[in-house]
A = this chain, B = another copy of it.
Amino acid sequence: MQFAGRLNNVETSAIRELFKLLGKPGIISFAGGFPDSAMFDVEGLKEASAKALAEEPGGALQYGATEGYNPLREQLAAFMGTKGVKGLNPEGLIVTTGSQQALDLLGKTLISPGDKVIVEGPTFLATIQCFRLYGAELISAPIDGNGVKTDELEKLIAEHRPKFVYLIPTFGNPSGGLLNLERRKKVLELAVKYQTLIVEDDPYGDLYFNEAPPPSILALSDSVPGSREWIAHCGSMSKVLSPGLRVGWMIAPAELLAKATMCKQFSDAHTSTFAQATAAQYLKAGRMPATLAHVRKVYAERALAMGEALRQELGDAIEFVQPQGGLFVWARLTGAGGKVKDGNEFARRAIEQGVAFVPGAPFFCANPDPATLRLSFATADVARIEEGVARLGKAL
């Protein structure tokens, strides 16, 4: 069978191969990219879905508008309002089948083969593959402890004139980093100056541990005239409520939203109305603030425990910025004291010791840093985190 040429642009994920090793009994995994199932508000979702089926069985079970189920769009617009996004109408967003589909729709809608797209180095692995399937040539913009380096980003925009720039500015996967306020404004200025679309992927922004992060790039667009027309923002219920619902959303300028909706019509017609009606009832019931408070508290403890254990067990052989939110520690092996400096090699040794994480190299679309690694603190409790990091110490 002869497949489409676009498949030559992607490879089976290196991470998938690694995941096959995770079945080993007794392994402590820091490798996942998912939230802790124990944190799901099962009772709240049970009530929400029962209510959806009782109050609006037609809406929850019938075909729905491609743009999304209106009661959910209303709830999401209000939810974004609580996060500083002004003047957003329900019509200003579409519901997507997880925010992964928002990325797919952006690719389908915008990328012609050979088009350039700038992403952070490192960035979300499925973004790289998703855009490459549409023929994108990806350009890697370097980051530091304050997120993407906007001076470098400007040079890359000026040189490559990309179709768009894709950023995960808040506790991104894998970097866990936070783009600071000054740079967020700079990104908005670049959008206007170069008339370049900025895609802000924001599945983790609600998962902050202490003080709230700076407003999203979308929320800040009010302060930079003309910038709102160059921002697409992707949100998701997956990290705070449940990935299994597959409910995400995209906010974008009207013309882009209309084209993405047309593409979505032929991708999956619409997102499950059953899941959408459940999410709408959940938000309407007002349970989200308590759920967020709980999730933040638990992840904050785990992040702290992992940071402390890493410093204690691995010392100067590893460096990282202590995460202020999200699910990940992004770390770099320093090689101090002649210790292992290669993420792949370290991952292999770690598996032998009964602990898993993901080496960082695959997260770069170009110029991978082989000394990097991603550790998730989301799914193991504090005791398992301490034990797992102790095993990492042995593996080192």
Contacts and interface: CB of A to CB of B under 8 A. Distances in A.
A269 B98 contact: yes
Given A2-B163, A4-B108, 9 more contacts: A3-B109, A7-B262, A42-B53, A100-B266, A126-B269, A129-B265, A245-B274, A246-B268, A274-B275
A20 to B, nearest CB: 12
A183 B180 CA distance: 66
Contact of A10 (B129, B253, B262, B267): B262
B12 A40 contact: no
A70 B129 CA distance: 25
A46 B53 contact: yes
A108 B3 CA distance: 9
Contact of A268 (B104, B244, B256, B269): B104
A49 interface: yes
A268 B236 CA distance: 12
A250 to B, nearest CB: 13
A60 B266 contact: no
A327 to B, nearest CB: 12
Residue of A4, A13, A40, A242 with most partner-chain B CB within 10 A: A4
A258 to B, nearest CB: 9
Interface of A: 1-7, 10, 12-13, 34-35, 37, 40, 42, 45-46, 49-50, 53-54, 57-64, 97-98, 100-101, 103-104, 108-112, 115, 126, 129-130, 133-134, 163, 197, 238, 242-246, 253, 255-256, 259, 262-263, 265-275, 277-278
Residue of A42, A46, A62, A112 with most partner-chain B CB within 10 A: A62
Contacts of A263: 7, 133
B262 A12 contact: yes
A169 to B, nearest CB: 21
A52 to B, nearest CB: 9
Given A46-B53, A58-B37, A274-B242, A112 B4 contact: yes
B109 A266 contact: no
B274 A244 contact: yes
A64 B163 CA distance: 32
A255 B7 CA distance: 13
A129 B66 CA distance: 15
B134 A4 contact: yes
A61 B262 contact: no
B269 A245 contact: no
